[in-house]
Amino acid sequence: MYKDGVFRFTITLPSRFPNDSTTPILAFQSDLFHPLISPDDGVFDLTDAFPKWQPGDNHIWQILKFLQFVLQNPEEHSFRSEQLTGNEAFELLMENRSEFVMRVEQCVEESQHKLYDLPVDPDRYYICFDRFNPDVHGPVLESMKQNEPTEVTTPPSSGLSWVRKGLYQPLSK
């Protein structure tokens, strides 16, 4: 149902992460109609998957996999109904699937219209998208279609890399 949507979110890590037992917070910046996402602040409820965050055992990738699962299979997740009393998305999912799907489709469509919006607050890590410009993007698109390598015009980075060859230490010199 959510497959064509582009939903921006922020993951806020606790101050002592990864050595903190506080669960990170995943909050969507746009409306996303789902039983586990608060319509008030966009916070994704992680308590089903992570009742208590355990440093060393729980990882950010697990949050993303859980999010992927509940978006791909909302009806297959076993929601705790006592926790979702009065939750409109939950009630529609359980009692009026066609209305639920319509609301999700509205969110997907709205997300596509906001794809090129700039961030509300300054954020140097915000991923910005540009509309297709044939003069700029056309040659790259054509080379990809023909499976040709494109010429790199920026010099290689001499700073930190994600992982040094032979080591599993992130951001090594």
Mean pLDDT rounded to a whole number for the chain: 85
List all residues 6 or more positions away from 56 whose beta carbon is below 8 Å from its beta carbon: 18
* pLDDT, position 107: 95
Write the CA distances from 147 to 100, 132, 138, 140, 152, integer angstroms.
Answer: 42, 20, 14, 10, 15
- The pLDDT of 43-56, averaged and rounded, is 92
* pLDDT, position 68: 94
List all residues 6 or more positions away from 19 whose beta carbon is below 8 Å from its beta carbon: 55
Does the pLDDT of residue 161 top 60, yes or no? no
Look-up: residue for tokens 């308590």?
A: 47
Q: Where are the domains of the chain?
A: 9-114
Which CATH number is 9-114 given? 3.10.110.10
